[in-house]
Structure 1
């Protein structure tokens, strides 16, 4: 695994707190992830994992501080964080079902680049050239993210489930995140699909991306992460390298079980 202890954080959250009326869903949670590092966030159902993601990406009202690439983004709205390099994929696969796999990726890249109406009207040849370049970039991005070329011209619903998961991650990543947050990327995967996900996560880490992964698949989280944060009832009860967390009595009690 990559050693990133001396690297400056790519994403840092401090004292996150989320309350829904009298219910405190997240209380004083702090963690950070560096470039070229995979941070895992685990905990039993209802521990506050997804709320933690929503708080970090400003999708819910929260207290605390969020720093992105050295800049305080606590007050930056969620829809502007993606352009700054912070992107996330959700638990459910997300794509346009009436577009091909390649068209899905091209649509995301085109949206990021921002095509103007004036350019389309007054420079149609340049627009067609841009579209061709976008499709080439889309194909390259898909293959990089584990979506083989043989599926590019199929509709997402026509592809195997594992391909759909990879497509959702690819669309979340777009032209390239600096910090990518994944919510249960291994859900529904097994065998070769799981191995491909592990390979993808390791390759993104090797390229210097910071990854934050919520996952219930303990074999995956223990094998691929550099550090793990454990939540229980909205509070952080442990943090450290996988082997250290695996032996933590509080984790054994709250999440893994005494027999783990």
Structure 2
């Protein structure tokens, strides 16, 4: 079905992944547009994480990928990040020995790319730059629901919900045109789940294209504009949350099992 609206921010066509004789992904195609949340769901082993790895070129695969209208099939993962495709993983990812704030500063400083020579010859400028980065980092952390009261702590000493939000903030950095999240709600509930939903909706309002793998049906049904259902590495159904909830194939393969 052809959709009206802006061109896709990210489009994949015919993705395939094999691990020896095992076919993990076969002929998977989808797209996500700016200001849209695409959910990817399916039973365990359906190929969801393989789909992410294939899209971001973190595994050998067949198929083609376009980012912002440019074919990026052969681009390495770091090349995709430089073009605006960012990804957060299932497991929290941060520097455990640094404070929450310094984790965010490290990401922003890397993206800013100041050279060593400037640091050595112009220390006063570097001090001013550090203060600016700290202010930017603090504001970004608050935007992602990590309060200032936690910024001086090591990540492992903060509540689990804050650790999840920190990982998403670190992936987002100074900004993303497309943000891919792998089970961001894992281990969350209650207020933390509501905070995550608010962040996802906020990103959509800012025009970010968001792709979310998720097992929490209540979350994905409440925030996604469209959903792709995978089963045994192949597309089973795609549509709006309401359409997916009514689809008998999905009810049999996934939602019925979850119930």
What TM-score bracket applies, with the shorter chain setting the length? over 0.9
Partner secondary structure for residue 257 of structure 1: helix
Distance 2:159 2:203 in 1: 23
Partners of 2:58 and 2:7 in 1: how far apart?
A: 25
Long gaps (5+) in structure 2: none
Q: So what's the TM-score if we normalise by structure 2?
A: 0.97
Deviations 1:4-28 (A, max 9, x none): 8412100000000111111111000
Q: Deviation at 1:247?
A: 1.0
Residues in 2 aligned to 1:72 and 1:130: alpha-carbon distance in whole angstroms: 36
Superposed structure 1 runs of 4+ greater than 3 Å apart: none
Q: What's the offset of the Cα at 1:128?
A: 1.2
Can you give the 5+ residue segments of structure 1 that lack an aligned partner in the other structure? none
Matched residue, 1:105: 104
What's the secondary structure of 2:8's corresponding residue?
coil
CA RMSD between the two structures: 1.2
Aligned to 2:33: 34
SS in 2 for 1:92: coil
SS of aligned partner of 2:176: coil
Aligned equivalents of 1:74 and 1:253: distance in 2?
34
CA distance in 2, matches of 1:26, 1:158: 38
Provide the secondary structure at the position in 1 that maps to 2:167.
Answer: helix
Determine helix, strand or coil for the equivalent of 1:82: helix
TM-aligned CA deviation for residue 115 of structure 1: 2.1
The corresponding residue for 2:247 is: 248
Alignment of structure 1 residues 71-220 onto 2, 5 Å: 71-220=70-219
Partner-residue secondary structure (3-state), 1:96: coil
Distance, in Å, in 2 between the alignment partners of 1:259 and 1:148 is 34
Shift, 1:130, TM fit = 1.1
The count of residues paired between Structure 1 and Structure 2 equals 257
Q: Aligned with 2:229: secondary structure?
A: strand
